[in-house]
Structure 1
Amino acid sequence: MVQISRDHIAFQVIEKLQKSSISEKLDFFEKNYGSLYAEEVRAQLTHHDLEILTLILGKEVMISDVVNQMSITQGGVSRRIKKLNELGYLERFRGLENYRNVYVKLTSKGEHLAKANVAFHESAYKEAKQDFSSLTEDELQTIERFLNIVQKYGEFGE
């Protein structure tokens, strides 16, 4: 029998379920950062926007690298980046060595929101880890089998 890591199961469940739950993020942002970001996210941003900001956090990256790490099309990423640029969350610029390469980096506004998103995920993971600590090995095995079945049918696809 394979020993299942409670941390691994908690992380897997949170990562899969939170991809579709922006309302919890809004509550977290409002509670911890005030209503400004919650209202902006509610009105204008999507889960993919927050994921893009988090991917870029602390780096200057080529747009093609963002595309390669996202679960949406190149066109979808391009539209999201254009909108994030227009809203002042990131800046686009051309490479100095190769002008064809387009890079992005976060503005201070984008960095603040990306850090809030990271804090949300860390908080959710910590809470889930605590909740999973009381489960038996049999319960963990059942959860892992369930996640594998659901992922097989694409519901939580990577």
Structure 2
Amino acid sequence: MAAGAGLLGLVFGVSKGRASPRLRPPGAEDEETFLAKCARCGKCAEVCPLGCIQIAHAEDGILSLGTPYMTPLEHPCDLCMKCTEVCSTGALKTIPKEEVRMGIAVIDKDLCIARRDDDCQTCYRTCPQYGKAIKLEKLKYPVIDPDYCTGCGMCEHVCLGNPKAVHVKVREQEAKL
């Protein structure tokens, strides 16, 4: 029984407490379509000037093996869109930067420095969708607008909180697999 569960974990990427899907690069469709289209060639990772794109290993699950993913805390995406230009299978579609929806930033209000009455607007001022994806409630408290958030991770990367108050999550519609 335990061996079967371990094998299922490897296939579906739930080993080591982590579950697929991962945050995918700009232009990726839903997880199932992305996994079906991705050639696992690694060209997107090679062309990424900031090193934002990483390639999944066996511990991410056999279905995800060799596919690109992003960890915005370590390397936020500047939405240069070069990855979409080299994708020959259409797994990453060329779309306008404003339409990218890799994930969604979530702010933990209990950890947010601004909500502890300290002066912090780092995530707001650094957001590439300035004044749209992150708005200031009462001219002080950052709030994410999901209609504009691209999931680039810049806010998570620059958050001054320890632990970080901002985290980028995979959008629900992408997590169907």
Name the TM-score class by shorter chain: 0.3 to 0.5
More helix by share: 1
Return the structure number with greater strand share.
2
Q: Which has the larger radius of gyration?
A: 1
Which structure has more RCO (C-alpha within 8 Å, separation ≥ 6)?
A: 1
TM-score computed with the length of structure 1 as normaliser: 0.33
